[in-house]
């Protein structure tokens, strides 16, 4: 890879770009900066893991990290199917209701859009914590109990389709290509601040959102709740009274973790909770407030709930970690790498694909990631689910060897054979595991079984929540639950 390509990619992640190189006349000219950053995401994650190992700190947990990446693939798969939908509303407002047009190639337009996008992001982000139905999507990002570069990839399928509303005021003057550029860079900047290996940036802490500020935002300590919403700049939090510095070790995640590695449950659990709460809450107006007030609101409480409802947690705190044998972690890492490479290939050449093929691939990606979650959660049928996945992948890989795709979709014959071999070996592995009554966990040390049983019971309990009281910011959860 050319050195200039590397330096340009790094500058983009840190938002160190010039108006001249990032101003475009048409949407078709705007690069997909997120897609281009995928190799840098991978590199950052590897480097972070090495640094943590050298510092003799806890590294990236395989189960949590892969599930975070799974959520990112889930989120991007929705864009894979619905390309252009997110920008439709912005373009419509700009074409029909713009008050005036800012020149697309002016540095002032670039600066106005930079500030405008970050300002709108602050208010979207704040509302995502203060409005229950929006929090239902955003809680996905906060569901990890870790804080590293993989956490940045843990994104919601729905959030992109709700956040666009907050940026529509910009469409009254800012050209769509300029908005599209800054919306990508605003998101890219937030990737690198998800780390514990960077402590302080000195004077920049007063202006920019930094790893320290964002660690607070991801915390479930009482002092962290509803704080530090900024995207690139932290000045909005200082102006509107939502800023607080990092003062003690942060405990990450939701106040009562989802306690599951099932990517589907992580994406949709809060919507299910809202439906339950709407059903049991008396009065039509109160049912509406369940949607529109804070996640912690119940009749008789303030709009955002009470800080006293939040457990007063301090580090160190217990984390959900059933644990699987080392070979299973390595297996999931290998197959996640295959899945990500396959997804990257599909995204690059989606214009060459039919709608049916894109739908089939999307279902494949979702099911694949669901299988990984089932393995990490020790689901009863996890071995059988993975056996079925490997079986249809063997058939698909064999078909591609006999009838290889042509044109842009063509793949290396050697690569196809290597992937085919991996799936054949995996099929035999899970075929044997499925035939064993005790399941794949029987290979783990007996001493791990009590911990597995304990965390699994926590997970089952959380999945059958019947009543709950959420506090402001949606991090808060005071749960009374029972097994159904």
* DSSP-assigned letters across all residues of 261-307: --HHHHHHHHHHHHHHHHHHS-SHHHHHHHHHS-TT--TTS-TT--G
Reduced to 3 states, what is the DSSP secondary structure of residue 111? helix
What's the confidence (pLDDT) of residue 411?
A: 64
**d(Cα 114, Cα 359) in Å, to the nearest integer?**
35
pLDDT for position 454: 38
The whole-angstrom separation of Cα 344 and Cα 158 is 21
Q: To 10 degrees, the CA torsion angle through 205, 191, 147, 154?
A: 140
CA atoms within 13 A on the CB side of 449: 9
DSSP class of residue 233 equals B
Residue 81 in contact with residue 359, Cβ under 8 Å? Answer: yes
CB-based burial label for 443 (10 Å; 0-12, 13-18, 19+)? middle
Angle CA(253)–CA(157)–CA(262) in degrees, nearest 5?
55
CA angle (358, 364, 369) in 5-degree steps: 130
Could you give the CA distance from residue 186 to residue 119 in angstroms, rounded to a whole number? Answer: 11
CA torsion 468→134→359→434, rounded to 10°? -20
- Burial class of residue 169 (count of CB atoms within 10 Å of its CB; 0-12, 13-18, 19+): middle
Q: In the 8-state DSSP scheme, what is residue 331?
A: H
Q: What would the two tokens of residue 104 be? A: 């697309």
Tokens 């939701």 -> residue: 254
Helix (H) or strand (E) holding 469: strand 465-470
Q: What pLDDT score does 396 carry?
A: 86
Give the chain's residues under pLDDT 70: 1, 80-81, 83, 400-412, 437-484
Give residue 407's pLDDT.
60
The per-residue pLDDT for range 401-446, each reduced to its tens digit, is: 666 666 655 666 777 788 889 999 999 999 888 777 545 544 444 3
- What separation, in Å, do the N-terminal and C-terminal C-alpha atoms of the chain show? 56
Helix axes 132-142, 159-167, angle to 10 degrees: 120
What token pair was written down for 462? 């959380």
Alpha helices of 107-175 — where are they, by DSSP H?
107-130, 132-142, 149-152, 159-167
Q: d(Cα 305, Cα 295) in Å, to the nearest integer?
A: 8
Helical (H) or strand (E) element with 477: strand 477-481
Q: How far is CA 484 from the centre of its chain?
A: 30
Tokens of 419: 């992937």
Residue entry with tokens 């930094």? 210
- For residue 475, the model assigns a pLDDT of 44
């Amino acid at each position: 890879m050319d050195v200039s390509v590397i330096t340009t990619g790094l500058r983009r992640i840190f938002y160190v770009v010039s108006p001249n190189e990032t101003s475009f006349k048409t949407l078709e000219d705007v690069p997909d900066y997120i897609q281009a950053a995928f190799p840098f995401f991978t590199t950052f994650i590897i480097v972070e893991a090495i640094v943590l190992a050298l510092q003799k700190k806890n590294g990236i947990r395989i189960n949590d990290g892969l599930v975070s990446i799974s959520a990112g693939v889930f989120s991007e798969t929705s864009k894979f199917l619905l390309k252009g939908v997110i920008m439709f509303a912005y373009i419509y407002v700009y074409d029909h209701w713009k008050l005036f047009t800012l020149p697309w190639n002016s540095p002032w337009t670039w600066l106005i859009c930079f500030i405008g996008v970050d300002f709108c992001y602050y208010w979207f982000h704040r509302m995502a914590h203060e409005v229950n139905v929006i929090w239902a999507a955003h809680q996905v990002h906060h569901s990890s109990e870790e804080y590293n570069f993989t956490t940045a990839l843990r994104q919601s399928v729905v959030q992109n389709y709700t956040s666009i509303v907050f940026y529509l005021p910009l469409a009254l003057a800012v050209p769509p290509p300029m908005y599209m550029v800054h919306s990508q860079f605003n998101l890219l900047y937030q990737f690198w601040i998800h780390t514990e290996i960077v402590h302080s940036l000195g004077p920049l802490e007063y202006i920019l959102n930094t790893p320290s500020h964002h660690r607070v935002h991801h915390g479930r300590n009482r002092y962290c709740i509803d704080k530090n919403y900024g995207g690139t700049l932290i000045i909005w939090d200082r102006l509107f009274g939502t800023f607080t510095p990092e003062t003690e070790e942060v405990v990450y995640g939701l106040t009562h973790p989802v306690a599951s590695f099932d990517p589907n449950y992580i994406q949709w659990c809060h919507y299910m909770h809202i439906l339950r709460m709407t059903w049991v809450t008396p009065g039509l107006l109160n049912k509406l407030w369940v949607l529109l007030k804070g996640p912690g609101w119940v009749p008789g409480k303030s709009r955002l709930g009470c800080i006293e409802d939040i457990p007063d947690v301090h580090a160190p705190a217990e984390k959900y970690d059933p644990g699987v044998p080392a070979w299973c972690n390595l297996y999931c890492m290998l197959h996640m790498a295959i899945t990500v490479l396959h997804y990257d290939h599909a995204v690059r050449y989606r214009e060459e694909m039919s709608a049916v093929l894109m739908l089939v691939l999307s279902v494949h990606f979702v099911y694949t990631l669901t299988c990984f979650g089932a393995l990490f959660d020790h689901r009863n049928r996890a071995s059988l689910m993975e056996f079925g996945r490997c079986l249809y992948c063997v058939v698909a890989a064999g078909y591609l060897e006999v009838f290889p795709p042509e044109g842009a979709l063509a793949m290396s014959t050697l690569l196809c054979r290597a992937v085919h071999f991996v799936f054949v070996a995996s099929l035999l592995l899970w075929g044997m595991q499925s035939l064993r009554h005790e399941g794949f966990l029987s290979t783990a040390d007996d001493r791990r079984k009590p911990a597995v049983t304990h965390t699994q019971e926590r997970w089952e309990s959380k999945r059958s929540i019947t009543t709950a009281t959420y506090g402001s910011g949606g991090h808060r959860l005071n749960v009374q639950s029972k097994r159904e």
